[in-house]
Amino acid sequence: MDCVVTGGNVKVLAKAIHSLSRIGDDLYVEPEEDGLALRSVNSARSAYACFLFAPLFFSRYTIPAGHTFRCKMPIKSVQAVFRSLASLEKTVEKCHIELDDQKNRLTFTLHCKHGLLKTHNLSFQDSESLQAVFDRDSCANVFKAQPRLLVDTVVHFPSSLEEVTVSVSDERMWVRNHVDDEAGDLQSKAMLTELCLASDEFDHFAVQVHNSVTFCLKELRGLLVFAESTGLPISMYFDEPGSPVVLSVTDSVLEGNFVLATLSDDDSRKNVTELTQSLPPPPPDDFMNDDIDSYLIAMDTSIAPGPSSKGPPTPPLPKQPAAANHRTRTHSEEEEKEGDQTANSGRPPDKKFCSLFFGSMIPPSSQMSTQPMKSQNVLASDSEDDT
């Protein structure tokens, strides 16, 4: 592999690598005939990102014929090559990326002004091809907007916010911070922020299904940094909760796709409702069917005096407290059972990020026929830990 990036494209490549660092810890490098693919995925496999740079993006792009090369390396080591983004455009004239087969190193050489060379020899590991299965063209809701619109929207949310919820109608889009249902008292004290965007603020606004999706904000911020620096509009594709949301930037020489898992709480509520409806009714209380209890009740009814207006009521007999205590204890047990059922039915369902677009990493084509794919339901990383 031999690639040369010149001029302002060096900064674009550096911005793409910094955006991928918001996703995962490893950078997957895969030269292909249609361009150089840089990919990353988080440890939970609930977020995936890919940048594909076409051969026209490079001043020279050469890959060996009949030789497949795939590798991964720590993304922080690649970030160190493009550490100062502000000075890249002023000092770096071109970047040469070359595979050293003898030393098993991927070499990044920065040709700076005044003949200065900066060489970084990075070690790598062989890896399988990393792909995410998604079809953005089949999504019901499609939006396209300039990056400044979304940047001005997310700036109102604190940097510590993990998730946002996007709701759409025919003429509006609402973006608000997501508050966990399990928060309890904290939910009433949390500050809620919601912004409303009109359809005429978008370059393209097409809604077929009115719904809401919740996804992580960190990955969206990473793509916004790249889109704002390059001036490319951002397209958003999503369907129903639980299906992935796809954020894309496209140019004649590059394409970027961020695929993010969404929160599937509606499905959990539906399953809980269906489970509750399918449960058989509770058995009738056998209190009246018990012979001893019936005897005590009959004795209590036959001995207890009736109401009289001539004098004070007759004090209860010594045998009555046994039946009264039994009824009180049974009534208390029924209240505890009803309280438990109420608590269980009122408890919100467990929150889970559905990652249907991810399975295990796709093996090379030679292994596709022998190794079956295994799909995974994946929890989102930090935001889903039960407290």
* Residue 68 pLDDT exceeds 70: yes
Tokens of 385: 């830990």
Task: Assess whether the region 2-126 and the region 141-183+190-263 belong to the same CATH fold.
Answer: yes
* Residue 126 pLDDT exceeds 70: yes
Q: What is the pLDDT of residues 205-218, one digit of tens each?
A: 999 999 999 999 98
Measured at the CA of 31, the angle between CA 30 and CA 36, to 5 degrees, comes to: 95
**Contacts of residue 244, Cβ cutoff 8 Å, sequence gap at least 6:** 134, 238, 259, 260, 261, 262, 355, 356, 357
385 alpha-carbon distance from chain centroid: 13
Q: What is the pLDDT of residues 318-370, one digit of tens each?
A: 444 444 444 444 444 444 444 454 444 444 444 544 444 444 344 444 444 44
Q: What is the pTM of this model?
A: 0.68
Q: Which CATH class is domain 141-183+190-263?
A: alpha beta
Q: What is the pLDDT of residues 76-85, one digit of tens each?
A: 999 999 987 7
Check residue 290 and give its pLDDT.
46
Q: What mean pLDDT is predicted for residues 285-296?
A: 45
pLDDT band at residue 172 using 50, 70 and 90 as cut-offs: very high
Which sequence spans correspond to the domains of the chain? Answer: 2-126, 141-183+190-263
Q: What mean pLDDT is predicted for residues 19-24?
A: 93
Please state which architecture CATH assigns to domain 2-126: Box (3.70)
* Residue 175 pLDDT exceeds 80: yes
pLDDT band at residue 95 using 50, 70 and 90 as cut-offs: very high
* Residue 286 pLDDT exceeds 90: no
